Amino acid sequence: MPNYVQRLRARTLQSRLALTQDRIRRKVIDNAVSLVSTPVDCIRLVPRSHPVEGDPVSWICEKADVVSVAFPPLENVPVRKIRKDKETNLYQMTSLVSSFEDGEQSKFFTCQSPIEHDVDVGDLLVRVMMDDNTETPTVFLLQVTELLGTFGGREIIQSKYNCTIPTVQIPQDVINTIIKMIKRRQRISF
């Protein structure tokens, strides 16, 4: 057995008790989050190329999962519409309005999900809302900017993350992935 595993073993009654309590607390918190959360699509984007300023110019879509996310109360949040272009037959997403880009993009939302979900910095959380009055879906995009954790005695017992609304142009392959997820969501109806 490696030395670091021996060092991590619980040697005292307090450390063994803390390890057991951490696992119980994590399970209780994750169950509570799962009960109040909303299933959303999580798309992991890997930057393909960076300009000098640091923002990605283009991305590669590496992973697309469904995760359970508990959102804070959402009011006056910029949303985007997905429309199909009749000439090119491609789906397009509306861009954000310039008033939002002027100063409110620094506003962040703290979301929470069970620990077993693999959410990382840079991931896009896509919440799709279908309305009976419109034929195209409304999309709410959040990009994970910071991971937050609550620690127990020996383990992380709660995971949260700060998210902001991305103000960059969404690439066509990401829009196509979102469309596939929307169609899948309509088939499995959640």
Residue-wise DSSP of 92-106: EEPPPPHHHHHHGGG
Domain boundaries, position 158: 3-188
- Quote the percentage of the chain above a pLDDT of 70: 77
Average pLDDT estimate for 138-167: 86
Looking at mean pLDDT, say which of 39-43, 132-136, 157-161 comes out highest. 157-161
Task: Extract the tokens encoding 154.
Answer: 């020996």
Q: Is the pLDDT of residue 99 over 50?
A: no
Question: 118 or 47, which is more confident?
Answer: 118
> What is the average pLDDT value for the chain, to the nearest integer?
76
pLDDT score, position 101: 47
Q: How confident is the model at residue 94 (pLDDT cuts 50, 70, 90)?
A: confident
Question: 113 or 99, which is more confident?
Answer: 113
Question: 129 or 32, which is more confident?
Answer: 32
* Structure confidence by residue, pLDDT tens digits, 3-46: 544 445 557 777 778 888 888 998 998 888 888 887 787 777 76
pLDDT score, position 5: 47
Do 38 and 71 form a contact (C-beta atoms < 8 A)?
yes
Number of domains present in the structure of the chain: 1
Q: Is the pLDDT of residue 145 over 80?
A: yes
Do 92 and 175 form a contact (C-beta atoms < 8 A)?
yes
Question: 99 or 146, which is more confident?
Answer: 146
Distances (CA, A) of 111 to 27, 76, 79, 96, 143: 18, 17, 17, 21, 11
The region of weakest confidence among 24-38, 54-68, 75-89 is 54-68
Q: How would you label 63-96 residue by residue, b for 16+ Cβ within 10 Å and e otherwise?
A: ebeebbbbbeeeeeebebebeeeeeeeebebeeb
pLDDT score, position 117: 84
Q: How confident is the model at residue 59 (pLDDT cuts 50, 70, 90)?
A: low
SS3 25: helix
Task: Extract the tokens encoding 146.
Answer: 């910071």
